[in-house]
Structure 1
Amino acid sequence: MRVEKSVYRVENFVLFRLIKQCRTEAGLTQGQFAQALERPQSFASDIERGSRRLDLVQLRDICKVLGIGLVEFVQRYEAELSLEEAGK
Protein backbone atom coordinates (compact mmCIF):
# COMPACT_ATOMS: atom_id res chain seq x y z
CA MET A 1 0.00 0.00 0.00
CA ARG A 2 1.42 3.35 -1.06
CA VAL A 3 0.87 6.15 1.45
CA GLU A 4 0.45 9.65 0.06
CA LYS A 5 1.86 12.62 1.90
CA SER A 6 -0.89 13.34 4.39
CA VAL A 7 -1.25 17.01 3.49
CA TYR A 8 -2.46 16.01 0.00
CA ARG A 9 -4.82 13.25 1.03
CA VAL A 10 -8.54 13.65 0.49
CA GLU A 11 -9.01 12.98 4.19
CA ASN A 12 -7.29 16.26 5.01
CA PHE A 13 -9.38 18.24 2.53
CA VAL A 14 -12.55 16.77 4.07
CA LEU A 15 -11.30 17.61 7.57
CA PHE A 16 -10.56 21.24 6.77
CA ARG A 17 -13.80 21.65 4.82
CA LEU A 18 -15.76 20.25 7.79
CA ILE A 19 -14.04 22.59 10.23
CA LYS A 20 -15.02 25.54 8.04
CA GLN A 21 -18.57 24.23 7.76
CA CYS A 22 -18.85 23.86 11.55
CA ARG A 23 -17.41 27.35 12.06
CA THR A 24 -20.01 28.77 9.72
CA GLU A 25 -22.78 26.80 11.45
CA ALA A 26 -21.56 28.21 14.78
CA GLY A 27 -21.98 31.72 13.33
CA LEU A 28 -18.32 32.61 13.75
CA THR A 29 -16.10 34.58 11.42
CA GLN A 30 -12.52 33.42 10.98
CA GLY A 31 -11.47 36.30 13.21
CA GLN A 32 -13.89 35.35 15.99
CA PHE A 33 -12.90 31.71 15.67
CA ALA A 34 -9.21 32.55 15.94
CA GLN A 35 -9.82 34.91 18.85
CA ALA A 36 -11.71 32.19 20.75
CA LEU A 37 -8.71 29.91 20.18
CA GLU A 38 -6.39 32.72 21.32
CA ARG A 39 -4.56 32.53 18.01
CA PRO A 40 -4.06 34.99 15.15
CA GLN A 41 -6.60 35.09 12.34
CA SER A 42 -4.00 33.61 10.01
CA PHE A 43 -4.14 30.41 12.09
CA ALA A 44 -7.82 29.96 11.22
CA SER A 45 -7.17 30.81 7.59
CA ASP A 46 -4.30 28.31 7.41
CA ILE A 47 -6.54 25.57 8.81
CA GLU A 48 -9.31 26.21 6.33
CA ARG A 49 -6.89 26.40 3.39
CA GLY A 50 -5.31 23.13 4.44
CA SER A 51 -1.84 24.52 4.94
CA ARG A 52 -1.68 23.73 8.66
CA ARG A 53 -1.62 20.28 10.21
CA LEU A 54 -3.54 19.68 13.40
CA ASP A 55 -2.97 17.34 16.27
CA LEU A 56 -5.71 15.75 18.36
CA VAL A 57 -5.40 18.27 21.19
CA GLN A 58 -5.80 21.19 18.76
CA LEU A 59 -8.78 19.49 17.12
CA ARG A 60 -10.39 19.03 20.53
CA ASP A 61 -9.88 22.74 21.30
CA ILE A 62 -11.39 23.63 17.94
CA CYS A 63 -14.43 21.46 18.62
CA LYS A 64 -14.96 23.14 22.00
CA VAL A 65 -14.89 26.58 20.38
CA LEU A 66 -17.31 25.40 17.70
CA GLY A 67 -19.69 23.92 20.27
CA ILE A 68 -19.44 20.38 18.96
CA GLY A 69 -18.16 17.34 20.81
CA LEU A 70 -15.06 15.66 19.46
CA VAL A 71 -16.88 12.34 19.03
CA GLU A 72 -19.74 14.04 17.15
CA PHE A 73 -17.22 15.84 14.95
CA VAL A 74 -15.42 12.59 14.13
CA GLN A 75 -18.75 10.94 13.28
CA ARG A 76 -19.57 13.79 10.90
CA TYR A 77 -16.06 13.53 9.46
CA GLU A 78 -16.46 9.81 8.80
CA ALA A 79 -19.86 10.41 7.17
CA GLU A 80 -18.35 13.12 4.91
CA LEU A 81 -15.48 10.80 4.01
CA SER A 82 -17.92 8.05 3.05
CA LEU A 83 -19.77 10.48 0.77
CA GLU A 84 -16.49 11.67 -0.74
CA GLU A 85 -15.30 8.12 -1.37
CA ALA A 86 -18.67 7.11 -2.85
CA GLY A 87 -18.37 9.98 -5.31
CA LYS A 88 -15.07 8.69 -6.74
Structure 2
Amino acid sequence: MPKSLHSERHVMIAKALADQRRLKGLTQTQVAKAMGRHQPFIANIESGERRIDLVELLDIGAIIDLDVEALVRRLRKPLSEK
Protein backbone atom coordinates (compact mmCIF):
# COMPACT_ATOMS: atom_id res chain seq x y z
CA MET A 1 0.00 0.00 0.00
CA PRO A 2 1.43 3.42 -0.93
CA LYS A 3 2.05 6.07 1.70
CA SER A 4 -1.11 8.09 2.28
CA LEU A 5 0.58 11.34 1.17
CA HIS A 6 0.74 9.93 -2.34
CA SER A 7 -2.27 7.65 -2.27
CA GLU A 8 -5.08 7.89 -4.79
CA ARG A 9 -7.37 9.17 -2.07
CA HIS A 10 -4.99 11.93 -1.05
CA VAL A 11 -4.73 12.98 -4.69
CA MET A 12 -8.54 13.07 -4.86
CA ILE A 13 -8.68 15.42 -1.86
CA ALA A 14 -6.06 17.75 -3.28
CA LYS A 15 -7.77 17.82 -6.68
CA ALA A 16 -11.21 18.43 -5.16
CA LEU A 17 -9.87 21.37 -3.16
CA ALA A 18 -8.06 22.93 -6.10
CA ASP A 19 -10.96 22.39 -8.51
CA GLN A 20 -13.54 23.87 -6.12
CA ARG A 21 -11.30 26.82 -5.25
CA ARG A 22 -10.91 27.64 -8.94
CA LEU A 23 -14.63 27.12 -9.55
CA LYS A 24 -15.36 29.73 -6.88
CA GLY A 25 -12.88 32.11 -8.53
CA LEU A 26 -10.60 32.24 -5.51
CA THR A 27 -6.81 32.35 -5.49
CA GLN A 28 -4.66 30.31 -3.16
CA THR A 29 -3.69 33.59 -1.49
CA GLN A 30 -7.32 34.50 -0.80
CA VAL A 31 -8.06 31.11 0.74
CA ALA A 32 -4.89 31.17 2.81
CA LYS A 33 -5.62 34.70 4.04
CA ALA A 34 -9.14 33.66 5.08
CA MET A 35 -7.50 30.95 7.19
CA GLY A 36 -4.83 33.23 8.65
CA ARG A 37 -2.14 31.37 6.70
CA HIS A 38 0.28 32.11 3.86
CA GLN A 39 -0.25 31.05 0.22
CA PRO A 40 2.34 28.22 0.28
CA PHE A 41 0.17 26.44 2.86
CA ILE A 42 -2.62 26.05 0.27
CA ALA A 43 -0.17 25.40 -2.59
CA ASN A 44 1.45 22.57 -0.66
CA ILE A 45 -1.90 20.94 0.08
CA GLU A 46 -3.10 21.22 -3.52
CA SER A 47 0.19 19.87 -4.89
CA GLY A 48 0.15 16.90 -2.51
CA GLU A 49 3.28 17.99 -0.67
CA ARG A 50 1.38 18.44 2.58
CA ARG A 51 -1.29 16.34 4.24
CA ILE A 52 -4.44 18.06 5.37
CA ASP A 53 -6.11 17.23 8.66
CA LEU A 54 -9.85 17.06 9.18
CA VAL A 55 -10.15 20.46 10.83
CA GLU A 56 -8.21 22.11 7.99
CA LEU A 57 -10.37 20.28 5.44
CA LEU A 58 -13.52 21.56 7.13
CA ASP A 59 -12.12 25.10 7.33
CA ILE A 60 -11.04 25.19 3.69
CA GLY A 61 -14.27 23.51 2.66
CA ALA A 62 -16.28 26.28 4.33
CA ILE A 63 -14.23 28.97 2.58
CA ILE A 64 -14.52 27.45 -0.90
CA ASP A 65 -18.02 26.02 -0.48
CA LEU A 66 -16.90 22.40 -0.79
CA ASP A 67 -19.33 19.67 0.22
CA VAL A 68 -16.91 17.85 2.51
CA GLU A 69 -19.45 15.15 3.36
CA ALA A 70 -19.86 14.28 -0.34
CA LEU A 71 -16.09 14.18 -0.74
CA VAL A 72 -15.79 11.80 2.21
CA ARG A 73 -18.48 9.54 0.70
CA ARG A 74 -16.46 9.38 -2.54
CA LEU A 75 -13.29 8.60 -0.59
CA ARG A 76 -15.01 5.75 1.28
CA LYS A 77 -15.98 3.90 -1.90
CA PRO A 78 -13.65 1.06 -2.82
CA LEU A 79 -11.04 2.24 -5.28
CA SER A 80 -12.41 -0.13 -7.91
CA GLU A 81 -15.75 1.76 -7.91
CA LYS A 82 -14.28 5.21 -8.58
TM-score, shorter chain, exceeding 0.5? yes
- The one-letter code sitting in structure 2 at the alignment partner of 1:68 is L
Q: Deviations over 1:22-80 (max 9, x none)?
A: 100111011111111110001011011101111111100011111234324434xx18x
Residue of structure 1 in register with 2:65 after alignment: 67
* RMSD after superposition: 2.2
Q: Which runs of 5+ in 2 are unaligned?
A: none
Counterpart-to-counterpart distance in 1, 2:59 and 2:80: 28
Cα offset, 1:10, TM superposition: 0.9
Cα 1:45–1:86 shift into 2, 3 Å: same
Instruction: Give the equivalent residue in structure 2 for 1:15.
Output: 13
Q: Map 1:1-80 onto structure 2 (within 5 A).
A: 3-75=1-73, 78=74
8 Å CA contact 1:63, 1:73 repeated in 2: no
Q: How far apart in 2 are the matches of 1:17 and 1:68?
A: 12
Question: Counterpart amino acid of 2:60?
Answer: I
Would the aligned equivalents of 2:17 and 2:66 in 1 still touch at CA under 8 Å? no
For the residues of structure 2 that align with 1:48 and 1:11, how far apart are their CA atoms?
13
Task: Give 1 or 2 for the bigger CA radius of gyration.
Answer: 1
- Cα distance change of structure 1 residues 27 and 85 upon mapping to structure 2, 3 Å threshold: farther
Where relative contact order (Cα < 8 A, 6+ residues apart) is larger, the structure is 2
> Quick check: 2:14–2:45 contact (8 Å CA) kept in 1?
yes
The SS at the match of 1:4 is: coil
